[in-house]
Chain A
């Protein structure tokens, strides 16, 4: 399968995800779950066949990493929803997953068969996969943080939601760290040093620090609004690390700029 077939397989997946979001907000939980999983299945089939025909994991270009974001966002959203049945959680995951599929439909980037030598490594797949999982979970955390912030402003924080939030952040941060550490191990193999203060690395540190701030500030219940707001800021930093670094003046000569 190629990007041409994506034009036929992505719209049904997006439609199913929208159906899922609409259904769960109207209380039709079974339908919502079924639709989400059906969308996920369609998308998974595309990614698997695309991978096979590409002859390499589709994780190199921006468009390809967005595929995984959609995939894991819907998957992680489903699992999180099963664990913590908040309707908005499923709706948010489904809508965000569709957003990335739509971006790929509207702006398919030039995709090349070639994988430069530095990317040919056993670390490649685990490195990108854990990051995509982390992005998905931390995206959910930012959303849940905003919901909690609204509750807090109305006077009452939800302790259940706090427990959920902290869990999602801990798990997401765990994946973020695995991504960072596998990246360091890989860099040692490919570029001679595990940390070179490349802009992408520096931004990864900024992002990790932001989540560390949240985790440590939650240990004491001082300034709860600031703490919750941090989750949105941290997600913004995460997005800059992932998508924005290439456009920064500091990124001239970065080894991480996607082709």
Chain B
């Protein structure tokens, strides 16, 4: 074999190997979906997907497998986290990209990186010993501190770095010309930020929030440590509708983590079904974020 042929041989082989690695992610996603769906089939067949999605009673011992309460739990806790976390994250993003002097940014940015790196089990622990006792001090019947509010606060801190980083990137990607033009026309810095830069970065900011939503929906360990895990449709505990956040709840992720090790038969399959529904939900959220980002990039 001449060196030339060997070289081309290596080149061809490597190209093939690299292509396979590139497609590995697709294969893994496919494998995960198919495998989870296969394990979920008995539940879908025996219980019925419609019944699972519409029934609020989850009582595996009695063959009742409704996950509506968990969907509501996941939805509400995410909503709460967005409500608390988004203003903070967006403020931080604008602050970092437009306002903060370099030395301040050098403190703020690593702080956010560190928040992103802290393990979720540590957030859960912190939630258990700090946040839950705080929330317990709110006077309301049946308030134990464990519930949506504590979980939302913990989750808000956890998604803050995701939302802040991506929206900072979006704000920075606004062409400098926009800013200079606006300032040249006599606008103040704040007018430029609020009327030119933020509107121009809007698609990126929205997709940052949606991606944060996706992360929030997927969080598991920290949630089971603070949310109380009760399988109930959350309801306000007082006449104030906001007190719904003092209710305990369970997330879709928590349902899987809490029960998978004990489940057999249809119960186990129903947990895989919970996984399939969570998977589809997050796929929808993430692809809408990507769609928004592309739309933003085009316009």
B is a partner of A: no
